[in-house]
Chain A
Amino acid sequence: MEYYMHDIPIQDFLPIFVISAMVIFFGMAYAGFFTLVKLRLVKRWFMILAYLSWLALVACIYYLGVLLRVEPYTQKVLIGAMVGYLVFPHIVYFLLEKVHNRFEHHKMTTS
C-alpha cells in the first residue's frame, strides 16, 4: 500500500487548528447535552441541541477531511466513526441506567 501526504498551504493552518478544536467541542456538547437531558437536569428540548451538536461535529469532520486532503480510505473510516459516535452516548447511558436500576432494585428488595 502506497502512503502519500499532500502539502498543506499555510492559509489552511488556522482553519485546521480551529476546526480540530471544534470537532472535540461539538463531540463533548453532544454527549454533555444528551446526558443532562437524560438525567432531567435540563428541559427535554435541549436534546435538539445535542443532535445539532452531532450534525455540527459531522460538518466539522467533513471540512477537516477536505482541509487535510485525506485519502478515500480515511474518508470511509471518518464516516464510520461519526455513525459510531452517534450511537456511543446511547449505549453508555443504557449501560449506566441498567446497572443503576439493578442495584437500586436489589437494594430495595434486600432491605
Chain B
Amino acid sequence: MHGSNLYEGQKLALKYFTVAIVLFGAQLLFGLFAAIQFMYPNFLFGVLDFSINRMVHINALVVWLLYAMIGAVYWLLPDEAGREVVGIKLGNLAFYVLTAAVAVVVLVYLFIQIGPGKESTIWFITEGREYIEAPRWADIGIVVVVLIFLYNVYATVMSGRRTGILAVLMADLIALAGLYLAGMFYTDNIAVDQYWWWWVVHLWVEATWEVYVAAVGGYILIKTLNANRKVVEMWLWIEVAMMFGSGILGLGHHYFWIGTPEYWWEIGALFSALEPVPLVGLFVHVLYDWGKETGKGNKITNVPAFSWLTVETFGNFLGAGVWGFMHTLPQINLYTHGTQWPAAHGHLAFFGAYVAIMIAAVYLAIQGKAGLKELKMTKAGWWAITLITVGVLLMTVSLTIAAYVQTMVERGMYGATWEGFFAAQNNEWFWQGMCWRLVTGLMVIVGYIFLVYDLLTCTKKQPVQESEAEVAAAAA
C-alpha cells in the first residue's frame, strides 16, 4: 500500500493528521505561555492574557484530538470496509471548511480578548462555556461537518464489509455527535446550565472517547501485532459495556458541588470507583495479546505505534485511574476540587488516554503511506517518546505537589477562604511545584520537536526492506 496506492479516504486521513500535529504544537505553545504566567503574572499581560492562553491551550487540545480521531477513522475505514470511502469529495470539502473555521475562531479569540458580553458575543466571538468556547456559528458549522463525517462512515460501512470494530465505531460516533448538542443552548439557571454542559465535557471524554480509543486501539493491535481479530473484537464489546456502564453515571462526580441533589454524591462515588475497572481491563487485554502473539512468534510490525500504544495503556491507567481516584470520592473532593489536583489528573489522563494513542495512529498512517512492511523505532522517535512521556509524568508530579499545598493550606487550614487562596499561592512549595511544571513543560516541547522531525523523516531511515506492493507483485 504505497502512497500512490492509498485510498482517497486515507489521503484525507493524512490531511487530518497533519493539521492535528500542527494544533498539538499550538496547544503546547499556549500551555507554555500559561505556565510562565502562573509564575510571572505580568508576562504578556494585556497582550495575551492568561484566560485566553488557557482557553486556547485547552481548545487546541480538544480540537487536535478530534482531528486525529477523524483522521484515524478515515484511515481505518476503507481498510476495514474493504472499499473506498463513500462521499469522499464531501469529506474533503468538510475538512477545508472545518480547518478554515478553526483558524477564524482562534484568530477571533486572539484579537478580541475582552469586551461586553452581549447576544452577538455568543454568536460571533465566544459562548464562554469552559472547554467548548467556540461561538455559535462555529458550533453549527461543527454539527454540519460531523453530519457529513457520519454520512461518510455509515454509507461506506453499509455498502462494504462490516467488522466488529466498525460496528462499535458507528454506534459510538452517533453518541459523540449527539452529545455535542447538549452544549449548544443556554438556560437561565447556572446549575441547570452546568448540568447539561457536563454532558458534553464528561460524557465525551469518559464515555464516548474511551470507547473510541478502545476501537482504534483494537485496530492498532491487529495491525502491529497481527492480533487475533475475534479476540480483539470480543474484548472490545466487553470494554464498551464496562466503559458505558461506569462512565455514564461516573458523570455524578461532576455533580457534587454544582447545585444538583445530594444523591449524586453516592452515585458519583460508586461509579467513579468503577471507572478504573475498564482501564485495568484494557491493560489486561494488551498484555494478553502481546503475550499470545509474541509467544506465537509474531513480530511487532510498527514499533513506534506499538510503543505509543503501550504508553497509552499505562498512561491511561495512571492518569485516569490512579490520579483520578486519588481525588474523586466526594468526601475528599470537597477539599480538592478547584485546586491543581484536577490539572494534575487532567494532564496525565488526557496524555495517557488520548494523546499517546493518536500519535500511535499517526505512526500507523506514516507506515502505510510509505508502504513499509515494518517500521522500526529511530533515535529521534525514541527521544520523542521518552521526553514527552517522562515530561508529562514529572509535570503531573509537580502539579500534584502544588495541589497538595492548596488542599492543606487553602482548604484544610483556612477553610476555602479568600485569605487561604493567597496563603496557598504564596507558599514556597506551591511556587516550586509550578516552577517544575514549567521545566517539565519545556521538556515536553523538546520531545514534540523530536516527534515532528521523526514523523517527517522516520520512513527514510528504515533498513532496506521490500515494500508491501513489491511483496504483492512478487507473489502474483
Contact = CB atoms under 8 A, between A and B. Distances in A.
Interface of A: 1, 3, 5-6, 8, 10, 13-14, 16-17, 20-21, 23-25, 27-28, 31-32, 35-36, 39, 41, 68-70, 73-74, 77, 81, 85, 88-89, 92-93, 95-96, 99-100, 102-103
B295 A68 contact: no
B332 A16 contact: yes
B291 A6 contact: no
Contacts of B335: 8, 13
A100 B326 contact: no
Nearest to B235: A96
B408 interface: yes
A39 B413 CA distance: 50
Counting contact residues on chain B (CB < 8 A from A), the size range is 35 or more
Nearest to B237: A95
- Which of A36, A92, A102 is most buried by chain B, counting CB atoms within 10 A of its CB? A92
B375 to A, nearest CB: 25
Contact of A32 (B287, B325, B330, B407): B287
Given A8-B334, A21-B325, A21-B326, 14 more contacts: A3-B263, A8-B331, A8-B332, A8-B335, A27-B280, A32-B284, A35-B284, A35-B288, A36-B291, A39-B292, A68-B329, A92-B238, A96-B288, A103-B231
B321 interface: yes
Nearest to A17: B326
A68 B288 CA distance: 36
Contact of A23 (B285, B287, B325, B331): B325
B105 interface: no
20 contacts: A3-B266, A10-B408, A10-B412, A10-B413, A13-B332, A17-B327, A21-B322, A24-B322, A27-B276, A32-B284, A32-B287, A35-B291, A68-B332, A74-B270, A81-B274, A88-B277, A93-B284, A93-B288, A99-B234, A103-B230
Given A6-B331, A74-B269, A100-B228, A35 B263 contact: no
A17 B234 contact: no
B199 interface: no
Interface of A is mostly: helix
Interface of B: 228, 230-231, 234-235, 238, 262-263, 265-266, 269-270, 273-274, 276-277, 280-281, 283-285, 287-288, 291-292, 295, 317, 321-322, 325-327, 329-332, 334-335, 404, 407-408, 412-413
Given A32-B283, A99-B231, A100-B228, A13 B238 contact: no
A65 B262 CA distance: 19
B288 A39 contact: yes
Q: Which 3 A-B pairs have the closest CB atoms?
A: A10-B412, A39-B291, A3-B262
Contacts of B326: 17, 20-21
Interface of B is mostly: helix
A103 B291 contact: no
Given A5-B334, A21-B322, A88-B277, A96 B231 contact: yes
Contact of A74 (B266, B284, B334, B408): B266
B270 A77 contact: yes
Given A25-B322, A96-B235, A35 B287 contact: yes
B38 to A, nearest CB: 22
A5 B331 contact: yes
B61 to A, nearest CB: 24
Nearest to B229: A103
A3 B292 CA distance: 49
Contacts of A24: 276, 317, 321-322, 325
Contacts of A68: 329, 331-332
A28 B280 contact: yes
Nearest to A103: B230
A76 to B, nearest CB: 11
A103 to B, nearest CB: 4
A17 B404 contact: yes
A5 B325 contact: no
Contacts of A92: 238, 281, 284
A63 to B, nearest CB: 13
Nearest to A68: B331
A101 to B, nearest CB: 10
A31 B284 contact: yes
Nearest to B321: A24
A8 B295 CA distance: 50
Nearest to B413: A10
- Which of A20, A23, A35 is most buried by chain B, counting CB atoms within 10 A of its CB? A20
A88 B279 CA distance: 13
Contacts of A23: 325
Contacts of A77: 270
Given A39-B291, A100-B292, A89 B231 contact: no
Contacts of B327: 17, 20
Contacts of A13: 332, 335, 404, 407-408, 412
A100 B292 CA distance: 10
Contacts of B332: 8, 13, 16-17, 20, 68
